[in-house]
């Protein structure tokens, strides 16, 4: 039997389903390759549905609903469109051929449009051939083959902390002022804990510290090793910290961008925290790389092009305003890599990502370290149904990385923590940055700058682009 493309179509109950029904009633002939799944509204189509369809063997996916303005629920399709813009940016970037996922508006009366679209989609996807790339990922790969090593490829330095012979960085000049402010807040009882940076007890490295006694403020430091984004400790998920009481947090300008999103999304209240903003002229990406000075090539990717050296939104700012240094001028290496990937063919992009995702060990460190992954129960923990398979085989790894990225689309402030901590060195910065670019281009929105703004995924605009929708 010759191969026939399998296409899963998610159609809205009110328009496209009725349109397809009309096609049936009027005996309009079209290819039998689509499997219809009726949903109340295109707004109901979670990107996970599409991923799941591919996992289960679909060669293409069609999503179709009411024309803008016709939505039974007023704006469901317009919200859906925003989601699609992000999702399309993502699927294109990881090398899924754009023709495999088709978006359309088909009304209840457009039986002919529906029939024509199915015919065309079937032929296009037939031309692409079976989507074995996705199906075949299962059961391949190193971790899946039992007894093989998942081949971890970690950061260059495999030593935590800084060798004894390398001099440690000096404290920033404002550290005494920072300690004084922390002491004052604790003594007055304004806060119960100060979340900041300090030296580890045994190793020469900077770790998060939680100061609850005014006498301990001398543990607080700030220097170019303070790369961690401490705002991860603010959401409720961190029960141990929440139990301590109202926190003050030592935050760089970039960390405050994340705090901004947490405020936007009402995960924390502005009155519930005190922000101790610190001026920053760049931190190094991995502490182990410190070799006596903050050389430009050691700077965290987020520092390149940084425009928040002097923190905004803070209750107290310590340190003098700083200007962007020469090292921090763009374009960044990340930007260059994204552009290089964009120039490649979908197949090459796919191979690039498949190779990286193959190494994923599903430790979920990327989501645990992400301040914006604050859900009590992550989608990975939902097993009824099992949305993301727990096995570390490449297919599940691919799906997980798509899900993680789309859940952060338009929200991620590019703090780079997920990329920094990934034990398998998957270049997550590329994906996050790419989606930030999509957000800027499509919605003129940059995450983390305005705590009053609505994130792009929760609002819509009638003029949002739809040149990719049939």
**Which positions lie near another protein, rule CB under 8 A?**
56, 143-144, 146-154, 156, 158-161, 163, 200-203, 205-210, 228, 232-233, 238-241, 243-244, 361, 363-365, 368-369, 377, 381, 383-386, 389-393, 420-421, 423
Tell me how far, at minimum, the Cβ of 431 lies from another protein, in Å.
19
Helix, strand, or coil (residue 196): strand
Buried b (16+ CB within 10 A) or exposed e, 231-256: bbbbbebbeebeeeeebbbbbbbbbb
Tell me how far, at minimum, the Cβ of 427 lies from another protein, in Å.
13
228: DSSP letter: -
Residue 16 or 229 having the CB closest to another protein:
229
Residue 48 or 365 having the CB closest to another protein:
365
Tell me how far, at minimum, the Cβ of 254 lies from another protein, in Å.
17
Residue 244 or 437 having the CB closest to another protein:
244
Tell me how far, at minimum, the Cβ of 289 lies from another protein, in Å.
14
Residue 203 or 345 having the CB closest to another protein:
203
- One DSSP character per residue, 239-303 reads HHHHTT-SEEEEE-HHHHHHHHHHHHTTSS-GGG-EEEEE--S--BS-GGG--SS--GGGB-GGG
Contacts of 424 (CB under 8 A, 6+ apart): 150, 152, 153, 154, 356, 359, 360, 361
Query: How far from 249 is each of 197, 210, 272, 421, CA to CA, in Å?
Result: 10, 9, 11, 21
Tell me how far, at minimum, the Cβ of 55 lies from another protein, in Å.
10
Residue 232 or 268 having the CB closest to another protein:
232
Tell me how far, at minimum, the Cβ of 178 lies from another protein, in Å.
19
Residue 211 or 409 having the CB closest to another protein:
211
Query: How far from 401 is each of 14, 362, 442, 465, CA to CA, in Å?
Result: 33, 10, 22, 26
Place of tokens 């609903």: 65
Tell me how far, at minimum, the Cβ of 377 lies from another protein, in Å.
7
Contact, 300 vs 283, CB < 8 A?
Answer: yes
Residue 14 or 400 having the CB closest to another protein:
400
Q: What is the Cα–Cα distance from 6 to 8, expressed in whole angstroms?
A: 7
Strands 206-211 and 193-199: antiparallel
Q: What is the Cα–Cα distance from 218 to 220, expressed in whole angstroms?
A: 5
For the chain, the residue count is 470
Residue 109 or 212 having the CB closest to another protein:
212
Residue 362 or 434 having the CB closest to another protein:
362
**Both tokens assigned to 306:** 């940084």
What is the dihedral sign for C-alpha 233, 282, 318, 168?
positive
Tell me how far, at minimum, the Cβ of 270 lies from another protein, in Å.
24
Tell me how far, at minimum, the Cβ of 232 lies from another protein, in Å.
6
For the chain, the maximum distance between any two Cα atoms, rounded to a whole number of angstroms, is: 82
Q: What is the Cα–Cα distance from 460 to 470, expressed in whole angstroms?
A: 19
Tell me how far, at minimum, the Cβ of 284 lies from another protein, in Å.
14
Residue 153 or 340 having the CB closest to another protein:
153
């Amino acid at each position: 039997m010759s191969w026939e493309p399998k296409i899963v179509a998610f159609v809205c109950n009110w328009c496209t389903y009725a349109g397809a029904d009309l096609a049936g009633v009027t005996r309009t002939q079209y290819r039998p390759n689509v499997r219809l799944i009726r949903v109340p509204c295109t707004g109901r189509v979670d990107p996970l549905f599409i991923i799941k369809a591919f996992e289960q063997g679909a060669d293409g996916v069609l999503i179709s609903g009411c024309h803008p303005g016709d939505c039974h629920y007023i704006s469901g399709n317009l919200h859906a469109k925003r989601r699609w813009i992000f999702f399309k940016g993502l699927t294109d970037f990881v090398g899924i051929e754009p023709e495999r996922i088709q978006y359309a508006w088909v009304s209840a009366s457009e039986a002919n449009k529906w029939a024509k679209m199915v015919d065309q989609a079937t032929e296009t996807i037939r031309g692409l051939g079976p989507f074995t790339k996705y199906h075949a990922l299962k059961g391949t790969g190193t971790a899946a083959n039992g007894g093989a090593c998942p081949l971890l490829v970690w950061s260059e330095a495999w030593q935590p902390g800084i060798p004894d012979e390398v001099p440690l960085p000096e404290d920033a000049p404002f550290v005494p002022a920072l300690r004084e402010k922390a002491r004052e807040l604790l003594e007055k009882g304004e806060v119960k804990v100060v979340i900041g940076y300090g030296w580890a007890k045994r190793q020469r490295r900077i770790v998060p510290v939680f100061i609850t006694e005014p006498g301990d403020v001398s543990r607080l430091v700030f220097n170019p090793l303070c790369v961690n984004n401490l705002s991860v400790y603010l959401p409720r998920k961190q029960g141990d910290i929440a139990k301590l009481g109202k926190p003050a947090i030592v935050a760089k300008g970039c960390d405050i961008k994340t705090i901004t999103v947490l405020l936007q999304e009402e995960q924390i209240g502005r009155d519930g925290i005190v922000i101790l903003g610190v001026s920053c002229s760049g931190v190094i990406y991995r502490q182990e790389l410190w070799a006596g000075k903050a050389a430009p090539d050691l700077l965290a990717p987020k520092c390149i092009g940084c425009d928040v050296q002097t923190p905004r939104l803070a209750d107290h700012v310590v340190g003098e305003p700083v200007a962007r240094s020469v090292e921090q001028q763009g374009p960044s290496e990340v930007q260059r890599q994204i552009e290089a990937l964009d120039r490649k063919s979908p197949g090459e992009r796919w191979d690039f990502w498949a190779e990286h995702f193959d190494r994923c060990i599903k430790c979920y460190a990327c989501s645990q370290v992400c301040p914006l992954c604050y859900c009590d129960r992550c989608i990975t923990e939902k097993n009824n149904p099992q949305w993301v398979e727990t096995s570390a085989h490449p297919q599940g790894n691919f799906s997980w990385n798509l899900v993680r990225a789309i859940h952060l689309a338009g929200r991620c402030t590019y703090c780079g923590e997920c990329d920094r901590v990934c034990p398998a060195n998957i270049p997550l910065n590329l994906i996050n940055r790419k989606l930030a670019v999509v957000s800027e281009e499509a919605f003129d929105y940059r995450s983390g700058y305005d705590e009053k703004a609505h994130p792009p995924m929760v609002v819509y605009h009638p003029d949002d682009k739809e040149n990719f929708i049939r």
